[in-house]
Structure 1
Amino acid sequence: MIINKNKETERKCLIIYLLNPSVMLALINISCLMFLPEKTCASGWRMFSCSCYLLSEKTGSWDEGRSDCRDRGADLVVIDSSEEQDFLVSFTQKQTWIGLNDKEEEGRWKWVDGTPLTSLTFWSPRQPDNGGEDPQWGEEDCVHIRTDGNTLWNDRSCRNSFPWVCEKIP
């Protein structure tokens, strides 16, 4: 009876351990190294986890950024973890477009790969606010990482001009 109880406890602990986001990211990184050892990023791109990232040297609208990324066989970055968010903040060090928008329906945020925004978010305080109903800001349907002392997300007009970050699998 005690042996069965211990095995059940061990099984529950293992499940909790494997569901830990940090452990899952580590397992993904290990599987990247095991199964993609020959994969590297092209010149100018930087590897993190299993993806390659490129910070654009020019600025433009969100749509221009997305078009540029697609021309490179990539897309605007989709942020899947706090580790990836931290990497992007240290990598970019300036305001940059990311692949999140609510262009189709106000308040329904979707990534460029079609996945909806989940509970993992990095919004600045009081964001998103769609311009706070202030006509000078207009519709704010696209998302960028801020750098004004807070490196979190903010919604802005898709016409604003920022650099962007592209992401692709090598």
Structure 2
Amino acid sequence: MQTMDIDKGKYVNKPRKRDDVGVTFSGWRKFNSSWYFLSTEKKSWTESRQDCLGRGAHLVIINSRAEQEFIHQWVGCLNIYLGFHDTNTEGVWEWINDGQSGQSSAPGTTYWRDGEPNNTNQDEDCAHLSKKESDPLKSWNDIPCTTKIHWVCEKMASTL
């Protein structure tokens, strides 16, 4: 199984194990009541969303400060897509839920970098967690949905 080596910022083969966060399972990692999958390739936001749907999951939806801090630490040096966008109405950010029960489409607390979202060039409609900032509570940025970056899928623990 390939997993992300957080310290080295690259993928390595590691056996499944129990760690301080939870149990890993075939590339999935558990935190609280969800399982998370970190991509090993880069795709657009739409392609990333489709990949998650194919896994019976959705792009990660941040529901708490603890979840934000976990994702920020876990992805290491990677920028990753979030399931957060304003493609329907500019400036109105919403979470996708792709039919997952217990997931809110309301934005709630957000963790934008200072000055974000800014919609540079009028085409930044998808949110990503940016590793330019070391502060996990100020790490979101808006980017064009066609940008190819990594992503994290999330599904409820009861569905894996």
| TM-score (norm: length of structure 2) | 0.74
Select which of 55, 58, 64 maps to 2:38: 55
Structure 2: how far apart are the matches of 1:74 and 1:157? 23
Partner of 1:98: 82
Larger helix proportion, structure 1 or 2?
A: 1
Secondary structure at the residue paired with 1:88? helix
Partner of 2:67: 84
Residues 6-155 of structure 1 aligned to structure 2 (within 5 Å): 42-93=25-76, 94-113=78-97, 115-118=105-108, 120-131=109-120, 135=121, 138-150=122-134, 151=136, 152-155=139-142
- Equivalenced residue count is 125
Contact 1:58/1:163, CA 8 A, preserved across alignment: yes
Structure 2: how far apart are the matches of 1:41 and 1:161? 26
Structure 1: how far apart are the matches of 2:73 and 2:25? 20
Structure 2: how far apart are the matches of 1:139 and 1:77? 22
Structure 2: how far apart are the matches of 1:101 and 1:149? 20
Structure 2: how far apart are the matches of 1:70 and 1:92? 20
Structure 2: how far apart are the matches of 1:153 and 1:48? 20
Per-residue deviation at 1:148?
1.2
Question: Structure 1 runs of 4+ off > 4 angstroms?
Answer: none
Contact 1:108/1:116, CA 8 A, preserved across alignment: no
Structure 2: how far apart are the matches of 1:68 and 1:42? 18
- CA-to-aligned-CA distance 1:80-102 (integer Å, 9 cap, x gap): 00100000011111100010000
| TM-score (norm: length of structure 1) | 0.70
Structure 2: how far apart are the matches of 1:63 and 1:91? 23
Secondary structure at the residue paired with 2:48? helix
Pair member with larger Rg: 1
Q: Give the % identical residues.
A: 38
RMSD of aligned residue pairs (Cα, Å): 1.4
Secondary structure at the residue paired with 1:164? strand
